[in-house]
């Protein structure tokens, strides 16, 4: 998304402020922008849309929480302009109309279980065994005498992905993940750290609980990058919106809504491949 910074630099040289540069992204643009996909990043995108529409009455932004897989299909069918995608872009099929993806933020992730689960802290290796179905009962890890049921969020354009082992469950979105976790004591899953509340029990990994400060210090190392997917050549309005999101105002909205900007992307890899459900299910 370099064009935004180039535009901002040129305008600053001409005496324009970064805020003015952001507003100039939408100069002369109008029409409807359709945003679909994951709920991850959705709050920040909604706040950005409100600001943009207030400053540009000719622009309308509509949202639909479809899940990533359905969102990708809508982009291919030209029924949407931007798909929020919190998974590895390598999961996007090469079949059909080509798509383009760009990272716009960092999503610190919490590993969570149902509150009645008595399991204590787990190591990264134990979690990999859990998600790859190598541990089948919670009592092997200090929990209750009931099966382990990992939950994954679908990330492909094929319903039912990832291809997990019997007993595993795939859902379409984080709200569906939360609903399933809160109602089934056997379950374990991953949700955005910003969405963690008392309805779910966080799992300490290698002795460290999921907290933003611990993540920033590199002690809790679970996260996914946040992507936006468009047609290979997006509309001018879609491009302007994404340039806004990777600019100073958009990145500030990410921080305000509980995520992290691209500038804070860790130098280390996530200890769990939460951005790739198939790989997570395989225990890699």
pLDDT band at 7 (very low <50, low <70, confident <90, very high): very low
Average pLDDT over residues 132-158: 86
Which residues fall within 8 angstroms of residue 50, CB to CB, at 6 or more apart?
A: none
Mean pLDDT of the chain: 87
pLDDT at 144 over 70: yes
Query: What CA–CA distance (Å, rounded) separates 14 from 8?
Result: 10
The token pair at 270 is 């996530």
Query: What CA–CA distance (Å, rounded) separates 110 from 180?
Result: 16
In our burial notation (b when 16+ CB lie closer than 10 A, e otherwise), range 37-67 reads: bbbbbbbbbebbbebbeeebeebebebebbb
Q: Model confidence over 8-53: pLDDT tens digits?
A: 433 343 444 555 556 689 999 999 999 999 999 999 999 999 999 9
Q: Model confidence over 63-72: pLDDT tens digits?
A: 999 888 889 9
Average pLDDT over residues 95-122: 94
pLDDT at 3 over 80: no
Which residues fall within 8 angstroms of residue 220, CB to CB, at 6 or more apart?
A: 108, 205, 208, 209, 210, 211, 214
Q: Model confidence over 229-273: pLDDT tens digits?
A: 999 999 999 999 999 999 999 999 999 999 999 999 999 999 999
**Other beta carbons less than 10 A from residue 213's beta carbon:** 8
The pLDDT of residue 168 is 62
Query: What CA–CA distance (Å, rounded) separates 11 from 13?
Result: 5
Q: Model confidence over 154-185: pLDDT tens digits?
A: 766 665 555 545 556 788 788 888 999 999 99
Query: What CA–CA distance (Å, rounded) separates 130 from 49?
Result: 39
The pLDDT of residue 176 is 87
- Length of the chain counted residue by residue: 284
Which residues fall within 8 angstroms of residue 140, CB to CB, at 6 or more apart?
A: none
Would the pTM of this model clear 0.85, i.e. be above it?
A: yes
**Other beta carbons less than 10 A from residue 29's beta carbon:** 17
């Amino acid at each position: 998304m370099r064009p935004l910074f180039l535009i901002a630099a040129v305008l600053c040289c001409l005496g324009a402020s970064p805020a003015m540069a952001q507003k100039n992204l939408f100069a002369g643009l109008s029409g409807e922008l359709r945003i679909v996909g994951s709920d991850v990043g959705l709050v920040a995108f909604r706040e950005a849309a409100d600001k943009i529409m207030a400053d540009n009455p000719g622009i309308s932004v509509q949202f639909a929480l479809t899940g990533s897989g359905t969102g990708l299909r809508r982009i291919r069918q030209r029924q949407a302009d931007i798909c929020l995608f919190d998974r590895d872009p390598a999961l996007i099929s090469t079949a059909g109309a080509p798509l383009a993806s760009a990272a716009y933020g960092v999503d610190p992730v919490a590993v969570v279980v149902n509150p009645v689960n008595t399991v204590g802290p787990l190591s990264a290796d134990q979690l990999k065994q859990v998600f790859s179905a190598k541990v089948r009962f919670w009592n092997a890890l200090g929990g209750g005498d009931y099966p382990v049921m990992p939950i994954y969020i679908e990330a492909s354009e094929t319903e039912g992905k990832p291809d997990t082992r019997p007993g595993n469950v795939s859902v379409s979105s984080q709200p569906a993940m939360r609903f399933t976790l809160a109602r089934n004591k056997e379950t374990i899953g991953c949700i955005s750290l910003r969405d963690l509340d008392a309805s779910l029990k966080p799992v300490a990994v290698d002795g460290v609980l999921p907290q933003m400060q611990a993540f920033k210090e590199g002690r809790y190392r679970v996260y996914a990058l946040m992507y936006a997917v468009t047609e290979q050549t997006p509309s001018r309005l879609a491009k302007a919106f994404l340039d806004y999101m990777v600019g100073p105002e958009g990145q500030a909205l990410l921080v305000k809504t509980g995520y992290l900007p691209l500038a804070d992307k860790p130098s280390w890899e996530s200890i769990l491949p939460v951005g790739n459900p198939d790989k997570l299910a395989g225990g890699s």
